[in-house]
Structure 1
């Protein structure tokens, strides 16, 4: 399957008490069949969350969905898959 390629970087800025953290960032490359930037732009037009939260939601969802797609036969996803499919259908048609 042809894929867009992305580099994801996560930096730990502060702990749960607000104290700064000194850790090396997590960085990895990943493929996705969708253009994540276009999806984020479309999702930010929705009113459910603020733009930063919607970006996190869209990126996280696309990363999870691609892993599930690539490993659809993995028993880990067996119970989640039908619910996830229904969730994605609702999301794509605009939610409830």
Structure 2
């Protein structure tokens, strides 16, 4: 399957109390996805389900997690969860489609 390739970088900026991070290194790795994450983000942003920062985090987290599930669907850890994730994705796509249609009507 052809996949889009991404380089993910995570930098710890501050701890839970707002103090500057003691970590100087960044977490960086390559990830692959069957979807174009920027197009997914575009659809989610237009649907206005969350604010911009939450939408970015949701889109990236969902696509990274979802691809791991799909690539390991027979793994015992995910076996019981797969049907629920499938239903969640159907609901999400219907919600986004409806929200975007409503945005287009305005």
Shorter-chain TM band? over 0.9
Give the TM-score normalised by structure 1.
0.95
Runs of at least 4 residues off by over 2 Å: none
* Superposition RMSD in Å: 1.3
Task: Give, in angstroms, the shift of residue 42 of structure 1.
Answer: 0.8
Bigger fraction of residues in helix: 2
Structure 1 residues without counterparts, runs of 5 or longer: none
Deviation digits for residues 52-95 of structure 1, max 9, x if unmatched? 10110011000000000111110110121111000000001116
Larger radius of gyration: 2
Relative contact order higher in (CA < 8 Å, ≥ 6 apart): 2
Deviation digits for residues 13-35 of structure 1, max 9, x if unmatched? 00000000132110000110000
> Which residue of structure 1 aligns with residue 31 of structure 2?
30
> Which residue of structure 1 aligns with residue 103 of structure 2?
none
Structure 2 residues without counterparts, runs of 5 or longer: 99-106
Cα distance between partner residues in 2 of 1:9 and 1:37? 16
| Count of residues in Structure 1 that have an aligned counterpart in Structure 2 | 96
